Chains A and B, each alone.
Chain A
Amino acid sequence: MDILLQKVALSDIDVGDRMFVVTEGRGIEALQNSIAACGLLQPPCLWRPQADAAFVTVCGCLRLQAALNLGLQGICARVLDPATPRAVLLACALHDNLGHRVFNPVETAHALQRLLACLPRNEVIGHWLPLFGRAASARTLERLLCLCTLEHEVRAALIAGSLTEASALRLGAYAADDRRAVFALMGHLHLSAGKQAELLECLEDLARRDAVALREVAAEDDILQVCRDERRTRVQKTEQVRRILRLRRFPRLSAAEARFDAALKEMRMGPGIRIMPPENFEARVFRAEITFSSADELRRHAGGLLDAARRQACERLLAVPGEDGAGKHRTEPQRG
């Protein structure tokens, strides 16, 4: 492969041709400052399909854009032989970046899509996926390619890091209308990676359980109302939407928690005493915690705890729905 170092007028470069450009969503400001201060230290790489055609960018699209922004007329560039196969040009573009940075998922997906256009699938899976730090499997390839089909704003959120790759892949599996509705809901909320996963799982479960479309679950009146409420911060909206969805998804668990809280309130225990339910109401082991800093305080709290334990509400705190007075479940045959 012949590479010539030559001076090229910026007007001879078709910067709109992004056939080999693999960079997406990266800022240009720092690079521009560096070029303004020291000039273009690394020459971009160009290719010309024919002698009279405009140059096409192979490597260095950001450098070229920065040079244009700075009003430079010409630059020094490496120019590749017109006979260079497209697969080689694409490989040059990718290696120029792979050596020193990690590709974001959208860049990876687009790069794979282009590689597939000029290389056998096996080579893309076996050789290229590991270069992107991905598992060499057909499943990985398919999953990543699905990111290419996402709407621009979803891809932008993924590049910006406000949407995780796992969430984007999940959204990618939805019908377009569902995806738009769910993504719109996410836009109102402040969601960590864990909360994104929780929200999507909850919406999916509700849609599946109630046999309705995801967009219907995401656009229930009470949820829309919270999202539109200008007085709430994004964090407050997030917590409220999570509460609404959890109540809908886990009505019995939520009711058990509410019963517990109500009984606890009726037990009227002062500060310094805490009673905690079994985790998920599974183990039937409750915990009481007393916080004190003197023997006197301990005696007072212990007395308070004993008083509370004698109240009727304590029975309710410990009860399991469906039990008879003797704490047994009724097993006599009942007509369904």
Chain B
Amino acid sequence: MDRPFRPDTIFVEQAVESYPLTGSVLERCPGVPVVMVHDAAALVKQFQDDPPAGFNGKRNLLLCRNRGRFLEACPGTGRAYRCCQYLILNTGLGCPLACTYCVLQAYLNNPFLTLFVNRDDMLRELERSARLAPGRFLRIGTGEYMDSLALEHLTGFVPAIAGFFRQRPHLRLELKTKTALTASLQEHDYSDVFIVSWSLNAEAICSGEEPGAAALPERIMAARDLIDRGYRVGFHFDPLIAFDGWQEGYRATVELLKKHIPPERVAWISIGSLRFMPRLKHIAQTACASTAIYTGEFVTGLDGKMRYLQEIRLELYARLVGWLREYGPDIYLYFCMESPYVWERIMGAAPSSNWELKRILDCSISGCPRETCAENGHG
């Protein structure tokens, strides 16, 4: 994002008017029109059924309570593909970055950019979950239903939640972003609390398909800046896209990493190729007439999602993994939602189960030796 996001209008559910987070968001958006609404669910339904002409949900912020769960398991699909058993912390729904491949376009039925302001409820639920799994390492992330940092300047989420996580070292929060909005992480040292990770792609994809995100070099420089402040970072090459010139494109991105990011400060790199629910194609192409990413050779995968033909995925992965191994031979590389067959072909071996993959990743973060961690209670 060139400039931090500023909504066109803020809709506030009456019941949350007095919540501290509501107050601070409104304070940080002076001059933005505010509309009080009695019932957020009714408002969402109304705009979903019949959005007013020209309405752009990504420009309209809704502040309301989360009446459901804050913490949920990553919706990794089926048994055919390995999933790292990540936990998702729902701080809100929707994202202003508007990536053309974003699954949220088909996944969410709420057209508003929504922030849940009942943060105390969120912390209580986190506490309960942590108590249910005593001593177990839990990797939690906020970047699933929204970029983790895109609204940080409005929410102050990082400083507000850092203390909670610092007191519970077995909970580790990943902030996953495509922005360079790291001010709150620079102001204080939270390197023992958060892992910050960036989604990377080839320059052509970053500039063409991620219109609201920071340019690729900005992301890498933001990562470098946090590394210099003592943080460990992660990267996600996801979604890989087989566009004309992908080899040069991804190679150049790895070169940028090589130039600016010391590999020993990288906690992991995940890799995944574009996959999507069939209905996303129409929705995304309607939203962005110029995108051509859905015209690749996609077939229906074992989980019903569209994926590149396996031989194309193998080709993408083989090249990228080769370059990444050259860059950082000791960095833990893993696939997001890939089959054991693909793991074996590219990495030489597949985690025997989702739990095994979780254990390896937990170790990469906690620093505990992989060979013994099963006894130490990880996984």
Contact = CB atoms under 8 A, between A and B. Distances in A.
Interface of A: 125, 136-139, 205-206, 208-209, 211, 249-253, 256, 279-284, 320-323, 327-336
Nearest to A173: B286
Interface centre among A137, A281, A282, A321 (most CB of B within 10 A): A282
B309 A281 contact: yes
Given A137-B49, A252-B311, 5 more contacts: A252-B297, A252-B309, A322-B314, A333-B325, A333-B326
Given A205-B295, A250-B297, A331 B321 contact: yes
A280 B299 contact: yes
17 contacts: A205-B294, A208-B285, A208-B292, A209-B295, A211-B292, A252-B297, A252-B309, A256-B311, A279-B300, A282-B307, A320-B310, A327-B345, A329-B314, A329-B345, A330-B318, A333-B325, A336-B248
A136 B302 CA distance: 37
Given A282-B307, A323-B345, A329 B297 contact: no
A280 B318 contact: no
Contact of B325 (A284, A328, A331): A331
Contacts of B309: 250, 252-253, 256, 280-281
Interface in B324-379: 325-326, 339, 341, 345-346, 348
Contacts of B120: none
A336 B292 contact: no
B297 A336 contact: no
Given A137-B49, A137-B50, A256-B309, A283 B80 contact: yes
Most chain A beta carbons < 10 A, residue from B314, B319, B325: B319
Contacts of A331: 318-319, 321-322, 325, 346
Interface of B: 49-51, 53, 80, 247-248, 250-251, 285, 292, 294-295, 297, 299-302, 307, 309-312, 314-315, 317-319, 321-323, 325-326, 339, 341, 345-346, 348
A327 B348 CA distance: 10
Nearest to A278: B310
Contacts of A250: 297, 309
Q: Which of A206, A323, A330, A333 has the most CB of B within 10 A?
A: A333
B141 to A, nearest CB: 28
B322 A332 contact: yes
A253 B297 contact: yes
A138 B52 CA distance: 8
Contact of B323 (A138, A139, A333): A333
A139 B283 CA distance: 14
Contact of A334 (B294, B297, B319): B319
Nearest to B53: A138
A332 to B, nearest CB: 5
Contact of A280 (B53, B300, B321): B300
A333 B318 CA distance: 9
Given A209-B295, A253-B297, A283-B80, A329 B247 contact: no
A323 B344 CA distance: 12
A208 B53 CA distance: 27
Nearest to B252: A336
Given A205-B295, A208-B292, A209-B295, A334 B322 contact: yes
A283 B309 CA distance: 11
A333 B322 contact: yes
B303 to A, nearest CB: 10
Nearest to B325: A331
Nearest to A332: B322
Given A284-B341, A336-B319, A322 B295 contact: no
Given A251-B297, A280-B299, A283-B302, A329 B317 contact: yes
A33 to B, nearest CB: 46
A50 to B, nearest CB: 40
A329 B292 contact: no
Contacts of A208: 285, 292, 295
Which 3 pairs show the lowest CB-CB distances between chains A and B? A336-B247, A280-B299, A209-B295
B312 A252 contact: yes
Nearest to A205: B295
Contacts of A249: 297
A336 B251 contact: yes
A282 B302 contact: yes
Contacts of B319: 331, 334, 336
A322 B309 CA distance: 13
A25 B124 CA distance: 65
B375 to A, nearest CB: 32
A256 B313 CA distance: 14
A229 B132 CA distance: 72
A128 to B, nearest CB: 15
A322 B251 contact: no
Contact of B50 (A138, A282, A332): A138
Contacts of A256: 309, 311
B311 A321 contact: yes
B301 A282 contact: yes
B201 to A, nearest CB: 15
A328 B302 contact: no
Contacts of A280: 299-301, 309-310
A157 B201 CA distance: 46
Contacts of B294: 205
Nearest to A251: B297
B248 to A, nearest CB: 5
Contact of B345 (A209, A211, A328, A332): A328
Contacts of A323: 345
A102 B345 CA distance: 57
A279 B303 CA distance: 12
A138 B54 CA distance: 12
A75 B346 CA distance: 84
Contact of B348 (A205, A322, A328): A328
A335 B247 CA distance: 8
Contacts of B339: 282-284
Contacts of B248: 336
Nearest to B341: A284
